Amino acid sequence: MIPDVDNDSIVYLNGQYVRLGDAKISVLDRGFIFGDGIYDVVPAYKGKPFRMEGHLARLERSLAAIGIVSDMTRDGWRTLVLDMIARSGLGDCMVYIQVTRGVAKRDHGFPKNIEPTVFCMVSPFERPDADKREKGLSAVGIPDIRWLHCEIKSVSLLGNVLAKQRATEAGVDDVLQFRDGFLSEGSSCNIWVVRDGVLLAPPRDNLILEGIRYGLMEEMAAEAGVGFEARAISEAEVDTADEIMLTSATKEVLPITHYNGKPVGNGVPGPVYVALRAGYDKAIAEL
Ligand SMILES: Cc1ncc(COP(=O)(O)O)c(C=O)c1O
């Protein structure tokens, strides 16, 4: 019995549908041995996937980036996501897809002629509650100790796990990571800064995972008449930001109202957050 999950829920593993509690992979799976794999997470509302094509395109980019060749087509991934949502019977849910290089003798180099391991599960999605939306979150700044290919949605998440633990130990919700004095991202989310009414984000490069909400934030900012700039953001600019917010599939868009123990702006969600939050809710409602 795995605690805190629905052991009877049905997961997909290499073409089979099995109970989560019964699903097993080999101890020589390279995902387990080396963290040699990638994943993506597609949110769904009332059973309808949100921005699925963006998530599937990123899944394919991650596979290509690490040289995993899967015979799944875009149509195949799409059918898997829709089928898994339907089987789960859930309304608001998260579809998790993981692909590893497969099972082979332990040897660092890519093995020849192995099949990737493909796993998919659906979990209930508890949307951020009113308290988080209205009061906001807290965060502390830490150095970014991760590797230089954060644009790949790799299952090698040790750096992200340690970052999140830093937040837990500091008694805050998340961290803002800095590399060479410039903002990268949160432990599992993108970070946004507002200065003088302009929405700023770190550039889309190898130092961050470009969230599927990155493009959406840009679109929503344009619709709300808020200026947007993707550029390096210094620690000093974050310290004196008017607003800070984060985005991810599970957190949607949430304000960070306390940073390094001090209020951000007035310590309450700011006007740019309020406008973008309304845009996000509208995008969900229009699904
Ligand atoms: C490191 C990292 N950055 C950013 C994101 C945000 O990506 P998305 O908006 O696609 O959920 C995630 C999401 O899991 C993440 O793990």
From CA 241, how far away is CA 192, in angstroms rounded?
Answer: 10
pLDDT band at 172 (very low <50, low <70, confident <90, very high): very high
Q: Is the CB of 190 under 6 A from ligand 1?
A: yes
For the CA of 209, the nearest atom of ligand 1: 3
- Which atom of ligand 1 approaches the CA of 250 most closely? 11
Is the shortest distance between the CB of 160 and ligand 1 below 6 Å? yes
Confirm or reject: Cβ of 210 under 6 Å from ligand 1: no
Q: Start-end ranges of CATH 3.30.470.10 in the chain?
A: 10-124
> Alpha-carbon distance 277 to 220, whole Å?
9
Whether 37 lines ligand 1, by a CB cut-off of 6 Å, is no
Q: Rg of the Cα trace of the chain? A: 19
Provide mean pLDDT across the span 87-106: 98
Query: To test ligand 1's pocket by mutation, which of 189, 213, 214 has the most ligand atoms within 8 angstroms of CB?
Result: 189
* pLDDT reported for residue 143: 98
Q: Determine the distance separating the centroid of ligand 1 and the alpha carbon of 50, expressed in angstroms.
A: 14
Q: Are 193 and 215 in contact (CB under 8 A)?
A: no
* CATH domain 130-285 topology: D-amino Acid Aminotransferase; Chain A, domain 2 (3.20.10)
Mean pLDDT (the chain, rounded): 98
Six token digits for residue 244: 């800070």
Q: Which residue's alpha carbon is at the smallest distance from atom 1 of ligand 1?
A: 188
The residue type found at 80 is L
* pLDDT at residue number 100: 98
Q: Is 18 left (phi over 0), alpha (psi -120 to 50) or beta?
A: beta
- Counting from 1 in the atom list of ligand 1, the atom nearest the Cα of 190 is 4
Residue numbers annotated as active site: 153
Domain 10-124: CATH class, spelled out: alpha beta
- Residue 260: predicted pLDDT: 98
Q: Is the dihedral of CA 91, 186, 245, 153 positive or negative?
A: negative
State the pLDDT confidence band at 205, using cuts at 50, 70 and 90.
very high
Does 54 contact ligand 1 (Cβ within 6 A)?
no
**Residue type at position 76:** G
Give the pair of three-digit tokens for residue 26. 């080999």
- Taking the C-alpha atoms of residue 99 and residue 63, their distance in angstroms, rounded to an integer, is 8
Query: CA separation (Å) from 138 to 42, 131, 144, 186, 210?
Result: 26, 13, 18, 12, 22
CA 79, CA 73: separation in Å to the nearest integer? 10
Whole-Å CA distances, 255 to 102, 153, 241 = 40, 24, 12
Query: Whose Cα sits closest to atom 15 in ligand 1?
Result: 188
Instruction: Establish whether residue 207 lines the binding site of ligand 1, counting it when its CB lies within 6 angstroms of any ligand atom.
Output: no
Q: Where are the alpha helices (DSSP H) in the chain?
A: 30-34, 52-65, 74-88, 130-135, 158-170, 212-224, 235-239, 271-285
* Residue intervals in the chain for CATH 3.20.10.10: 130-285
What are the pLDDT digits (tens) for 227-265? 999 999 999 999 999 999 999 999 999 999 999 999 999
Which is it for strands 198-201 and 228-230: parallel, antiparallel or unpaired? parallel
- Mean of pLDDT values over 151-177: 98
The pLDDT tens digits for 20-50 are 999 999 999 999 999 999 999 999 999 999 9
> What's the pLDDT score for residue 112?
95
